[in-house]
Every structure is written in C-alpha cells, then in structure tokens.
Structure 1
Amino acid sequence: MDPDIENLLTAENEHIVKLQEIVKKTMEDENLIIQNLLNPPKEIVTRGQNISDKVARFGGSWVFIISFLLLLTVWILFNVLVPKGDEFDPYPFILMNLVLSCVAALQAPIIMMSQNRQEEKDRKRSENDYLINLKAELEVRALNQKLDVLVQEQIKVLFESQAKQMEILKEIQVEIVKRKEK
C-alpha cells in the first residue's frame, strides 16, 4: 500500500480515537448529573406535614374565605336579631373575637410549615434546573471539542493534500522542462 494512503488512514484512525475519548470523557462527566435527575430522593412526608399542606391549601382558598365570611355574617346576624337573652354572643361579640384570634393563631404557623416545605421543594427544583443547565453546557463543550478536532484534522489533511499536489506539480514541471529540452 502507498505510504501516503497509510498515513492518511493512520491520521483518520487517530482522529476517531480522539473523538471517542471526548465522547467517553463527556459521558463520565454527565453520569453524576444523570443519576441525580433520574433518581431524585424520595420525599418522606409525615402525617403532620400532610395535615399542614391540606390546611394551607384550604386556608388559602376562596372556599375558605367565602365560607368564613358567611359563618361570621350568620354569627353576627343571629346575635343581633334574636330576642334579648337568647343570643350566645351579644354585641361587642367577644366570643367571636376569641374564635377569630384562635383560628389566626393556629392557622398562621401551620401555613408557615407548609410554606417552608414548599420552599424546600422549590430549592430542590432549582438544583435540578441547575444540573440540567450544567449537563447542557457539558454537551456544548463536548460538541465544541469535537468540532475543534474535526477542523484540526481537516486542516491537516488539506495541508497534506496541498503538499502532495505541490510535489505532483513539481514533477510535472520537471517533466515539461525535460520534454522542452529534447
């Protein structure tokens, strides 16, 4: 086989080996990211956390607000409209104020617990987003490396081809000069 062809085949093999190394390195870099994304830690929710989520979901809804306003309206109307002595919480509605204070005092920390859990979920979600962005960046870097290797190899092949063509042109020129001399 022609030594030039052997050199080109060897260069191509080296080029393929370089690309394989880049791919292998990229896969190793991405392995941890993929494992974290595919196997997120299981969320263990206690009974209290589950209750706090439900209370927060209900306490922050229009159903709660409207039903609570209706209850307060019925409470006030009943205590204002019933005959004297039959009301259970006469004006200034001290019992109603006590109930409202108790509801607020219990509901606020329960909602805060739920918000803290939601904040933790959001933090984990943002970490996963970061890992996905990092994975994409690694893929872009790997592609850039592959392109660099391809361009370097193509330039090398072009220079070798040009050198070969120059040699052929010199041989042709020498041949032309010899024929003119004859």
Structure 2
Amino acid sequence: MMTSHISKQEIEKGEEVRGQDIREGIFNLIKSSFPDFDREDYITIAELNQYRRLYLTSLILQEKGEIALIDRDVMEAINNNSILSENIQDEIEAELTFGEIIADRVAAFGGSWTFIIAFFSFILIWMMINIWYLATKPFDPFPFILLNLILSCLAAIQAPIIMMSQNRQEQKDRQRSEHDYKINLKAELEIKLLSEKIDHLLVHQNKKLLEIQEVQTDYLEDLMKELKKK
C-alpha cells in the first residue's frame, strides 16, 4: 500500500493520488507546505481536496486584491488630474506687473456704465459752468476748445491702455489654453492606461476563472468516481 507524503499514513486502495497527476497551482501550494514533496509522491484524495479548497480561496483573495489595486490606481489618477487644474487663475495673476494691473483696472473701468455716466456728467458740468456760471468771462468759451483738447488727450491715452489690457487678456487666454491642453492630454493618457489595466484584468480574470473551473471539474470527476465505486 502507498503511504501519504503529508500524513505519513497508509492510503487505502483507490484513494491515492500521485504528484504528477496534480495541477501545477495546487502542486506548488502543497510544495510550499512540504518542500520535499515531488511528482513521484502520493497523497490521499481527502488531502488533495483540502488543498484544492485552499487554492480556490487564494485565487479569490488574489482577485479581490487586484480589483482593490485597480480602484486605488483610478483614485490616484483622478487626484493627479485635479492637480493640473488647480489655482490656474492664481498663477496668472501672480505673474502680473504693476503696469499690467493698472492697465487692466483702467480698461475695466473704461468699459463700464460708471465711466460713461461720469464722463457725460463731467462734460455737462463743464458746459454749464462755462455757459451760465461764468457767462461773462468763461475759462473755456464755446466751442469748448480746452474741453476738446482734454477729451482728445483722454482718448489718446485710453486707447493704448485698452490695447495693453487686450494683449494681456490674449496672454491669459493662451495660458488657459495651455492648461486645458495639458489637462486633456493627461486625461487621455490616464484613460488609455486605465483601459490597458482593465484589459489586462479581464484577461487575467478569464485565466483565473478557467483555472477555477478546472479545479471544480476535478472535484466532480472525483465525486463521480466515488459514486461509481459505491
């Protein structure tokens, strides 16, 4: 009679299983517990079934670990993507010079209803003072040459200031476009990477499921053999 390499007890006839007939994964699991176990040694069907259960459990736990790893990679990818889009406006504002800040504020004020109302109010007050209050000796009589000079100077100064602000706005738009490009590029790379990971996981899962089915088939074959004997 054969002797079990695990329990060191004699094996009943028909209950012996040779090492070379055991699947690779289960054989390696047995060998991890009994390093001197080789292909020529024997174990019982009950002992083999015990290691089959342990092997199936290890496959399931390994699968859970791989899914958790994928989930963590997804979260890290999402967090890395958000870093690119943080504080874009603060970075742009931090690069402004004093002159650019003044140009932006003047352009913003010059394009508001406050400036329009204040501008026309100033013109009306100027005219009223020179027509009614200083009718005998106005400092800027009709046709208000001094007022025209002031308005011409204001327009001459305001135009380049507005152009400076517009150039600055174009620079801001260009920087935002660069940030958008970087974000889109990183998102594309992350999607591609995650797609490859998912494809790898699916292929790996199919292999694991096939291996589990093969072990289950071995279980059924052993059960059929036992039923035939009885």
Partner Cα distance (2:205, 2:184) in 1 = 31
RMSD over equivalenced CA pairs, Å: 3.9
Q: Specify the alignment match of 2:149 in structure 1.
A: 98
Runs of 5+ unmatched residues, structure 1? none
CA distance in 1, matches of 2:95, 2:194: 40
Q: Residue in 2 aligned with 1:141?
A: 192
The amino acid that maps onto 1:54 is: R
Unaligned runs of 5+ in 2: 1-5, 7-21, 30-54
What is residue 60 of structure 1 aligned with on the other side? 111
Match of 2:47 in 1: none
Amino acid at match of 1:141: K
Counterpart contact for 1:37–1:128, Cα < 8 Å: no
Q: Is the counterpart of residue 50 in structure 1 residue 50 in structure 2?
A: no
Written as runs of structure 1 = structure 2, the 5 A alignment for 1:1-182 is 3-5=24-26, 6=28, 43-82=94-133, 84-174=135-225, 176-177=227-228
My pick for the range that moved more, 160-169 or 40-49, is 40-49
Q: Residues 71, 35 of structure 1: CA spacing in aligned structure 2 closer, same or farther, 3 A cutoff?
A: closer
CA contact (8 A) 1:53 1:114 kept: yes
**Structure 1 137/35 Cα, relative in aligned 2: closer, same or farther at 3 Å?**
closer
Cα distance change, pair 103–136 in 1 and its aligned pair in 2 (3 A)? same
Q: For 1:63 and 1:144, how far apart are their aligned partners in 2?
A: 55
TM-score by length of 1: 0.68
Percent identity over paired residues: 46
Call closer, same or farther: CA 1:42–1:62 in 2, change over 3 Å.
closer
Contact kept, 8 Å, 2:84 with 2:183, in 1: the verdict is no
Amino acid at match of 1:109: P
Q: Distance in 2 between matches of 1:91 and 1:139?
A: 72
Judge which range, 162-171 or 87-96, deviates more. Answer: 162-171
- Report the 3-state secondary structure (helix = DSSP H, G, I; strand = E; otherwise coil) of the residue aligned with 1:86: coil
Distance 1:92 1:145, change over 3 A: same
Q: Against the structure 1 CA distance between its residues 161 and 47, is the aligned structure 2 distance closer, same or farther, given a 3 Å change threshold?
A: closer
TM-score calculated relative to the size of structure 2? 0.56
Q: CA deviation at 1:156?
A: 0.6
Q: 1:61, 1:143 → 2: CA distance?
A: 49
* Matched length: 170
Letter in 1 for 2:111: G
Larger RCO of the pair (alpha carbons < 8 Å, separation 6+): 1
Give the drift of 1:107.
0.2
In terms of fraction of residues, the more helix-rich structure is 1
The code of the aligned residue for 2:153 comes to C
Q: For the residues of structure 2 that align with 1:63 and 1:126, how far apart are their CA atoms?
A: 32
In structure 1, how many angstroms separate the alpha carbons of the residues matched to 2:184 and 2:167? 26
How far does the alpha carbon of each residue in 1:97-128 deviate from its partner, in whole angstroms, 9 at most, with x for none? 22212111110110110121122122212322
